Amino acid sequence: MTMQLIADSIKFSYGLRAAVSDVSFKAAGGEILGIIGPNGSGKSTLIKLISGVLRPTNGNVLINGEDTTLWSPRRLAQTVAVVPQDTQIAFDFTADEIVAMGRNPYISRFQSITNNDMDIIKAAMTATNTSQFAGRSILELSGGERQRVIIARALAQEPKVLLLDEPTAALDINHEVEIFELVRRLTKQKQLVTVAVLHDLNLAAEYCHRLLLLSRGTVAAYGSAETVLEPENISAVYGL
């Protein structure tokens, strides 16, 4: 069965101000939905609503028809993985320790890691070409290498839905392309529903099957890259 993620008129307010309002979209397994829009338009809030970090004040997030707000945190973490924008790792973990954290939603408190977990960790590192960093401190890796390790951690969660919030904001263009090539390949191979916030409209056009353009928390345009990236839409929203 093809995975399906639906946002059905979701709304969220921090206090009195709505940060996301009446946002709806559908995303399918094997495809990348790109979320674009100016700073403060609600992109990160939308990612947090899909991942369950925030709960919509109205509307629903549905995965294969099920309302995810009814799910346990463990079940949600077994289904949805997040790659944040700026991965701040304060402690001196090795790359393989970071990837192993992806198994946490599967391991109960007094249990330790199994051979099956080890196999999944190894496969995630192979798929992201990070095996060679296994014993090295995450702090000594370059930004692009570190982001690949974080993607490996997300894969180790064996998610059905992969959320990325400006995963390449801190990287130069060559490494941005490398990360999006990886994300595209994994999305196809594992038939993930991938939702990525992008700051670069060229990358959005190149890698996303569909785009959602946010303006002040509402949907300004939604559909194919060609329609969403029409100059009228872009100038109206970005004020160019």
Which helix (H) or strand (E) is 155 found in, with range? helix 143-156
Q: Which is nearer to Mg ion, 83 or 120 (CB)?
A: 83
- Judged by CB under 6 A, the residue of 21, 45, 157, 194 near ligand ADP is 45
User: Per CB under 6 A, does 40 bind ligand ADP?
Assistant: yes
- Residues 176, 3: Cα–Cα separation, whole Å: 26
Give the binding range for ligand ADP (CB under 6 A) out of 22-30, 34-42, 52-60, 66-74.
34-42
Shortest distance (Å) from residue 52 CB to ligand ADP = 15
> Per DSSP, what are the bridge partners of residue 193?
31, 161
Among residues 73, 65, 69, 75, the alpha carbon closest in space to that of 6 is found at 65
How many residues form the binding site for ligand ADP (CB under 6 A)?
A: 10
User: Per CB under 5 A, does 44 bind Mg ion?
Assistant: yes
- Residues 10, 196: Cα–Cα separation, whole Å: 18
CB 53, CB 76: distance < 8 Å: no
Shortest distance (Å) from residue 21 CB to ligand ADP = 11
SS3 state at 129: coil
- Residues 120, 238: Cα–Cα separation, whole Å: 42
Task: Tell me the Cα Rg of the chain.
Answer: 18
- Judged by CB under 6 A, the residue of 41, 79, 157, 187 near ligand ADP is 41
Q: Which is nearer to Mg ion, 66 or 86 (CB)?
A: 86
User: Per CB under 6 A, does 44 bind ligand ADP?
Assistant: yes
User: Per CB under 6 A, does 53 bind ligand ADP?
Assistant: no
User: Per CB under 6 A, does 14 bind ligand ADP?
Assistant: yes
Both tokens of 94, joined, read 């090795």
Q: Which is nearer to ligand ADP, 94 or 218 (CB)?
A: 218
Q: Which is nearer to Mg ion, 44 or 157 (CB)?
A: 44
- Strand 193-197 vs strand 161-165: parallel, antiparallel, or unpaired? parallel
How many residues form the binding site for Mg ion (CB under 5 A)?
A: 2
> Per DSSP, what are the bridge partners of residue 219?
214
> Where do contacts with Mg ion occur on this chain (CB under 5 A)?
43-44
